[in-house]
Amino acid sequence: MSLSHDVCLVTGAGGFLGARIVKLLIEEGAMEVRLLDRSIKPDLLLSLEASGTQPKASVFQGDIRDGELLRKACRGASTVIHTASVIDVTGAMDYSELRGVNVEGTQLLLDICLQENVTSFIYTSSIEVAGPNPQGDPVVDGDEETPYFSCLKFPYSRTKQEAEQLTLKANGQLLHNGGRLASCALRPTYIYGDGCRFLQGHMADGIRNGNVLLRTSRPDAKVNPVYVGNAAFAHVQAARALRDPQKREAVGGNFYFISDDTPPVSYSDFNYAVLSPLGFRIRERPVLPFPLLRLLCFLLEMVQLCLQPFVKYTPPMNRQLLTMLNTPFTFSYRKAQRDIGYRPCYSWEESRKRTTDWLASVLPAE
C-alpha cells in the first residue's frame, strides 16, 4: 500500500529513530511529512532541504504536552507515528516528568487524533515493556505469545507499558467524522546504529579506561539488538499495513517485536563487536563478581533513599538495570514479517560497518 497520498506526522522527529523514519517516509513518497519535537537539529533540516523535499516537510517545534501544537500538527494528517519519549534507565528523571511525557502526552495525542480524524496511529514501545522481570527469568527466541511473568520495577518501563496499553485500547475508537482509528505498537529491541548516543557513551568510557571496555554483562546473557535503519523501516511498514484495507483489521490492536538478523550476543560483547575495529579491547571478567555487584547496587540504592529528602543522587547502576544487562532476552520478528511485511533491509555486516564507521567519525582526536 503506497503512502503517496498520506500526510504523516512523526513525533520525536529530531531523535535517533524519529529522524530515520522521517527520511524514509520522504524517500517512500509520502505527500507530506510533519516533524514534531522540542528541538530539531539543523543538520536534519539542511539534509531535507538539500534533498529537494520542501515543502514536503513541515516542522512543528514544541512539547508533546502542548495541546494546541498537537492540534495544529494533526489537522489534516492521516497517519501519526509516535516515537517521542523520555528514556531513563538509571532512575535519574522525576517520575512526574516521565509519566507526563510518556503517558499523559500519549493520551493527549490520541485524543486529538480522534478529534482531527487521524485514521492510523503507530506507537514506538520498547522491549522493556516485556521485561526482564526482577527474577531475571530468561526468554530465548520468544514471540508475542510467549508467556512471561513481568513485574516492571523501572519507572521508565512502567510508563512505556501504560502508553502502549493506551494505544492498543484506542484501536477501533470512533473518529469525529464517523470513521475508526486503527492503532498498533512496535516493540523494538535495543536500537543501535550511526548516531546512537549510548554507544558513543560506552566508547567515551572505554577511552577513559585506556581503550578497554568494562564488562557489565555475562557472555551468556544474550540479547538481539536491532539496527536503527531496520527499526525505522518497520514503522513505515506498519503505516502501510494500517492503510491497507486487507491488513488494517488484522494489524490494528496488536503489538509487534522488532528485531533483525544481528547475532544474539550480550550487551557488553555487542559493544565490543562494533568498537573492536577501532582498537578497543574488553575485560574478560567484570570488575566484581555479579553477586557482589548486586549487593553494591543494593547499598547504593539505600544511599539514594537516605539522601532523597536532601539531595538528588542517582547511582550509576541499580539492581534492575544489572538484571536487564544479565538476562538472556531474545525475540523473533516472525509475526511482524507475517502481518506487516517487515524484513530487515540492512544485514548484520552492513549494520555493523555503518555503526563502526560513525563511531570512528566521532572518535575524539588524540
State the SS3 of 40-59: CCHHHHHHHHHCCCCCCEEE
pLDDT digits (tens, 9 = 90+) for 116-147: 999 999 999 999 999 999 889 999 999 999 99
324, 217, 193: which is closest to 268 by C-alpha?
217
The yes-or-no verdict on residue 40 having pLDDT over 90 is: no
pTM score: 0.94
Distance of alpha carbon 193 from its chain centroid, rounded? 12
Q: Which grid cell is 172?
A: 477501533
Residue 132 domain flag: yes
Across residues 194-203, what is the average pLDDT?
Answer: 95
Is residue 230 within 8 Å of 345, Cβ to Cβ? Answer: yes
Residue 191 grid coordinates: 536500537
The single residue listed with the C-alpha cell 508533546 is: 64
Q: How many residues does the chain have?
A: 366
The answer to whether the CB of 244 falls within 8 A of the CB of 194 is no
pLDDT for 53? 58
Where does the pLDDT of residue 153 fall: very low under 50, low under 70, confident under 90, or very high at 90 and above? confident
Q: Is residue 188 in some structural domain?
A: yes
Compute CA distances 147 → 52, 60, 140, whole Å.
48, 41, 12
My answer on whether omega of the bond before 263 falls inside 30° of 0, hence cis, is no
* Active site members: 156
Cell numbers linked to 64 = 508533546
Counting Cα atoms < 13 Å in the Cβ hemisphere of 285 gives 4
pLDDT of residue 91: 78
Q: In terms of residue numbers, what domain contains 11?
A: 7-196+224-266+329-346
The CATH number linked to 124 is 3.40.50.720
Q: What count of Cα atoms within 13 Å lies in the side-chain half-sphere of residue 324?
A: 20
* Position 43 pLDDT exceeds 90: no
User: How many domains does the structure of the chain reveal?
Assistant: 1
Domain presence at residue 356: no
The percent of residues in the chain predicted with pLDDT above 90, rounded, is: 76
Residue 60 lies in a domain: yes
User: Mean pLDDT, to the nearest integer, of 348-361?
Assistant: 97
- Lowest mean pLDDT: which of 11-20, 53-62, 199-208? 53-62
Arithmetic mean of pLDDT over the chain? 92
Cα 178–chain centre separation: 32
Residue 159 falls inside a structural domain: yes
Identify whether 174 is part of a domain: yes
Is there a domain that residue 337 lies in? yes
**Average pLDDT value for residue range 315-332:** 92
Examine residue 319 and state whether it is found in any structural domain, yes or no.
no
- Give the whole-angstrom CA distance, residue 142 versus residue 344: 18
Count of Cβ atoms closer than 10 Å to residue 205 Cβ: 13
